[in-house]
Amino acid sequence: MIRGIRGAITIESNTPELIYSETERLVKEMARVNKIDPEDIASVIVTTTPDINSAFPAKAVRSIEGWKYVPTMCTHEMNVPGSLPLCIRVLMHVNTTVPQKDIQHVYLNDAVTLRPDLVNENR
């Protein structure tokens, strides 16, 4: 069975260093709290708000030890007026038997405002 695990994080500025470090931080936390092995990941989709364009966050995912062959791609979120700026979102498709209600979605920094109903729900 495959499940989707959501995550999001905001960065302070559009720099490659922050894009890479915060994307890696988010993905590692998503894997840690859900006890995910890279071999169980079918794919990862990373989106950014349009104000993030100085680096590909998928590069950060592929750079994590053991994640080199995880299929990963990036795209931009819709440009909705008033939406949360400088936000990186991740949708990880994982082969798991964990019930949907027990999946732990991860929201960090200002991204906690996106889904307050899921923040720390299971942690």
For residue 45, give the 3-state DSSP assignment: strand
Smallest Cα–Cα separation from 84: which of 4, 9, 3?
Answer: 9
Contact 87, 115 (CB under 8 A): no
Catalytic positions are: 6, 62, 74, 77, 89, 107, 115
Smallest Cα–Cα separation from 103: which of 24, 7, 10?
Answer: 7
Contact 74, 19 (CB under 8 A): no
* Structure tokens given for 18: 């922050």
